[in-house]
A and B are shown apart, each in its own frame.
Chain A
Amino acid sequence: MDIREIQGYASFFMTMFLVIMLYGYIIHLYRSEKKGERDYEKYGNIALDDNITSTPVEDKPASQRD
């Protein structure tokens, strides 16, 4: 198997993998919203309500802060 062949296979499978991941991501986005697990659109508010005193959209627990 020469380098060109490996290149061809690598390219094909990697592209397939990334395409599947991208579509998987789209499905993930919409499904988790439908099931009510999370609301992606609320993240848009991070930019609007961004005073240092405002409540974070998703709070980072104090234990994780360093």
Chain B
Amino acid sequence: MQSNAALEYDYSLAKKFTFLTILFGFLAMVVGTLIAAQLAFPELNYLLGEYGTFSRLRPIHTNTAVFGFTVSGIFATWFYLGQRVLKVSIAESKFLMVLGNIQFWLYFVGALAATISLLLGYSTSKEYAQYEWPFDIVVVLIWVLWGVNMMGLIGIRREKALYISVWYYLACFLGVAMLYLFNNMEIPTYFASGGLGDPIHSVSMYAGTNDALVQWWYGHNAVAFGFTVPIVGMIYYFLPKESGQAIYSYKLSLLSFWGLMFVYLWAGSHHLLWSTVPDWMQTMGSAFSIVLILPSWGSAINMLLTMKGEWNQLTDNPLIKFMVLASTFYMLSTIEGPIQAIRSVNAIAHFTDWIPGHVHDGVLGWVVFMIMAAIFHMSPRMFKREIYSKKLMETQFWLQTTAVVLYFTSMWIAGITQGMMWRAVDEYGNLMYSFIDTVTVLHPYYAIRALSGVMYLTGFIMFAYNIYKTMTSGRVLSEEPQFRTPMA
């Protein structure tokens, strides 16, 4: 492979997954906005008959956000930055290219089929693991393909040292593989009963309290290894590259990596406080959730300090704005989570809207912002064109930031209001409110949340339009930009 003058990074896979990121992001947000509106205006439940109720659509929203949008974002950025930090083009290996394309098509078709299965009501009922067993097998296949591809690329690399982002992507691969496998252990009833009933139906290998423990060990850490680890990996590449500043402290990034790996897995049982799982596990979950602040903030502070001395970039480069806001929301949600994991707070917060509020300031503020920033950064390099409109980007930024703030403030108020009303007693110790009182009181907050959904979705459409115009009519670049992304 010597003296190959035409050697270039191959972005074809990164491009394909970028399109999917935008497609699934749009889908997840449309459904999310619709179901948010259904809570405020129940008539909206009847748009699609059986298939349009809140209950049927909610898993589609969550699974498309996790396995559609975020996972394609992870793949897209990996096929971009993986090559760059390893200083090897994926096109140098035919095998890896073919593998990558198989992964893409299998993923695309699999994701669509799985979404349809949820719409038809096939669900194992475990949150973020609702796919029935045939789709689980497809997920595992895709994941293995990705793992082989990643290991292969690492195998043929020129850069001997593995950059910190590669650490995070590897951890994402291993963590999700372990969690997904163990949580989706199920037995197809058709084969175990001598050919009776629906072949797609299955029954969980675990029962009751055990099932709950495995599920939330999974559920919490799917957030860890899907929404935190790879996104940190992204920002450790894109923020330094965009700003031209190396990571503030590389050593701190290594330490918080191991801290995060060790602590995160213990915290899952904080989803089961006051339930029937043993007390010591609940305590363990609470305690480790608090400890989790340290490695999380270690990474977040490291990101923010990377901008040290270069804060002027924040005012004139909207891309830096996206990433700095993302790390700020990361700090917010990693302090909010531990607070909710304290037993006494959890007694009020659990089962209320504060929990979706927490999830969304993490996902909308941190995950989606970071993935959009990554796509903005990659586009001029992948399509060799300037970003179509800086102004549109600025408008999108402020619109979506306002939306996230509206979302979590309304849900904080809604959650605490409802949690307090459930336990309110009069002077004789009788419950003060019937359940329905605690529902009707939430109407204004649900309406605000629906509004924030519409705003965020509008911002995302602006994003998609901007990328589309960049691809088709942005000014052509003669050479690849070094640091700052060019925009018109």
Contacts and interface: CB of A to CB of B under 8 A. Distances in A.
Interface of A: 18, 22, 25-26, 29-30, 33, 40-41, 43-48, 50-54, 56-60, 65-66
Interface of B: 7-9, 83-85, 87-89, 155-161, 163-165, 236-237, 240-241, 244, 246-247, 249-251, 254-255, 258-259, 262, 480, 483
A30 B251 CA distance: 8
Q: Which of B7, B89, B237, B251 has the most CB of A within 10 A?
A: B251
B241 A48 contact: yes
Contacts of A18: 262
B258 A56 contact: no
A52 B89 contact: yes
A48 B250 contact: no
B161 A22 contact: no
Q: Which 9 pairs show the lowest CB-CB distances between chains A and B?
A: A44-B246, A58-B160, A50-B84, A60-B160, A56-B159, A46-B163, A44-B247, A58-B161, A47-B240
B262 A56 contact: no
Contacts of A54: 87
A44 B251 CA distance: 10
Contacts of A26: 255
B157 A50 contact: no
Nearest to A45: B246
Contacts of A57: 159, 161
A66 B155 contact: yes
Nearest to A53: B7
Contact of A29 (B87, B88, B164, B251): B251
A46 B158 CA distance: 12
Nearest to B8: A52
A41 B160 contact: no
A44 B254 contact: no
A62 to B, nearest CB: 9
Nearest to B480: A51
30 contacts: A22-B259, A22-B262, A25-B254, A29-B251, A29-B254, A33-B251, A41-B246, A41-B249, A43-B163, A43-B164, A43-B250, A44-B240, A44-B247, A47-B84, A47-B165, A47-B236, A47-B237, A48-B241, A50-B87, A51-B480, A52-B8, A52-B9, A52-B83, A52-B87, A52-B88, A56-B158, A58-B159, A59-B158, A59-B159, A59-B160
A37 to B, nearest CB: 14
Contact of B161 (A43, A48, A50, A65): A43
Given A25-B258, A47-B165, A59-B160, A41 B250 contact: yes
